[in-house]
Amino acid sequence: MSTQQSTALAWTNWVGNQTFTPASLRVAATENEVAEIVTEAAAHGIGARTFGTGHSFTPIVETEGVLIDTSAMRGILHIDTAARQVITLPKTTIGEFGEPLWEQGLALANQGDIDTQAIAGAIATATHGSGKRLPNFSAALAGARFVDGMGNLVEVSKDENAEVLPALQTSMGLLGIMTRLTLNVAPAYTLHSRHTVMPYTEVMEHFDEFVETYRHFSFFWMPTDASAKLYLLKNARADDCVVKLYREATPEIVTQSLPPNEQVGRPYQIYPMRYDPNFHEVEYFLPLEHARDIIAEMRKLMRRWVPLSIYPLEVRMVAADEAWMSPNYRRTNLVISISGQPGTDYWPYLHACDSLFAEFEGRPHWGKLHFMTADRLARRFPRYEDFVRMRQRFDPKGTFLNAFTRPLFA
């Protein structure tokens, strides 16, 4: 046995709201070692899961069987400048793509404000940034190798198993454990960012303009005077918005002296923000055409639920894609994020938000808290049944299912 086995300790995600102890922890440094572990687990009828950097708020990693640590499988393997593609190992973090791609005249097309997630986990859960014309990380996946639920190594590319790609792109690790990924990337670009505080009424007055004009537009709305400090935001009071507006920088802007709230730089330097992990987040994707109604209803709901709703409301946009279980499947979305405060009984508030999201055909972020059922998924995702069949094809024994995903995808 080439893989290392150790007595498992409790595994905890980044905010500490998910903790479990697997039966065993196995360390795998190669895809052959991953395959060996999965083959053994399937033969004994026990579950197997792996983890990225623990940024999901749900029990998506949890297993009573074997937890596979692939931390050694990290790094960029190849950059194809002409094809604008990069081949990478699964535990490479988003931030680690910045410099190597830039040196080759390339960049990630978009990213969110946290850059420490492992790329395989970001893809598997449809992690995203903001921008009406910019899709999530899942859409960047052009091919992969993964170990399926029987321990077989599966290749997915435009020439081999191409029909699997839209299921694999947002798969939550339910088809298999990805061991090598091929991503589409973009030509390098420089960003001009502006962070500003605006009254809610002013943001909504310019909402359509901001959506259409800026590469990246997002904002935090403050339900109370105390909200801003919870996300380390500054100078915002109740009913203010902290707004982020990003454009591609022009040569003239690059040479100008900018005010303190503006910055010009490489995208991987501009996008990341730093948070204290002191929140438990819910995030739903809703049709962008209903944005004004959704935001107005959320504002009223959150005011009714103070103090449970003290965390800011985050608003973003994401482009449509073709991944079957992506919340953006063939729909450009408004993204609404709200959080519960650790140490409080925030569930009634989160359920109230979920009921509102359901009215607008909301789809969940797979790494955030949600209240979906199999019936709701079948109604919200047109290719849900196809995804379930694909999952059964590559994991017939349910090796990668757990107590959280089994009721949804078995």
User: How many residues belong to the chain?
Assistant: 410
Confidence tier at 18 by pLDDT (50, 70, 90): very high
- Residue corresponding to tokens 């901001």: 210
Query: Does the pLDDT value for residue 1 go beyond 50?
Result: no
Average pLDDT over residues 29-45: 97
Give dist(CA 242, CA 149) in Å, integer.
45
Cα–Cα distance, 247 to 317 (Å, whole number): 15
Across 181-185, average pLDDT: 98
In angstroms, the CA 224 to CA 238 distance is 4
pLDDT digits over 251-275, tens only? Answer: 878 777 889 999 999 999 999 987 7
Do the beta carbons of residue 283 and residue 372 sit within 8 Å? no
Domain ranges of the chain: 4-69, 76-188, 191-374
Which whole number is the average pLDDT over 337-359?
Answer: 96
User: What band does 2 get if pLDDT is binned at 50, 70 and 90?
Assistant: very low
The confidence score (pLDDT) of residue 58 equals 94
CATH of 191-374, one of 3.10.440.10, 3.30.70.2520, 3.40.50.11860, 3.40.1280.10: 3.30.70.2520
Average pLDDT of the segment spanning 56-73: 95
Give pLDDT, residue 207.
98
6 has a pLDDT exceeding 60: no
Asked which of 6-15, 121-130, 243-252, 259-268 is least confident by mean pLDDT, the reply is 6-15
Question: Mean per-residue pLDDT for 157-186?
Answer: 97
The whole-number average pLDDT for the span 154-160 is 95
pLDDT score of 254: 75
Tokens of 336: 């609404």
Report the pLDDT value the prediction gives residue 233, as an integer from 0 to 100.
86
- Give 108's contacts (C-beta < 8 A, 6+ positions apart): 94, 97, 98, 101, 140, 185, 186, 267, 268
Distance, in Å, from the CA atom of 261 to the CA atom of 244, rounded to the nearest integer, reads: 10
Task: Output the pTM of the full model.
Answer: 0.93
Task: Please check whether residue 214 is in contact with residue 245, taking contact to mean a CB–CB distance below 8 angstroms.
Answer: yes
Q: What is the pLDDT of residues 303-345, one digit of tens each?
A: 999 999 999 999 999 999 999 999 999 999 999 999 999 999 9
Give the pair of three-digit tokens for residue 103.
């040196």
Percent of the chain with pLDDT over 70: 98
Cis before 166? omega within 30? no
pLDDT for res 234: 84
Q: Which of 2-11, 58-67, 188-197, 335-344 has the lowest mean pLDDT?
A: 2-11
Q: Where does residue 19 rank: exposed (0-12), middle (13-18), buried (19+ CB within 10 A)?
A: exposed
Fold (topology level) of 76-188: 3.30.465
Report the pLDDT averaged over residues 38-51.
96
Decide if pLDDT at 277 tops 90: no
Domain 4-69, second-level architecture: 2-Layer Sandwich (3.30)
Mean pLDDT of the chain, nearest integer: 95
Letter string b/e over residues 249-274, b meaning 16 or more CB atoms within 10 A of that residue's CB: beeeeeeeeeeeeebbebbbbbbbee
- Residues 6 or more apart whose CB falls under 8 angstroms from that of 11 comprise 19, 20, 21, 22, 51, 54, 61, 67
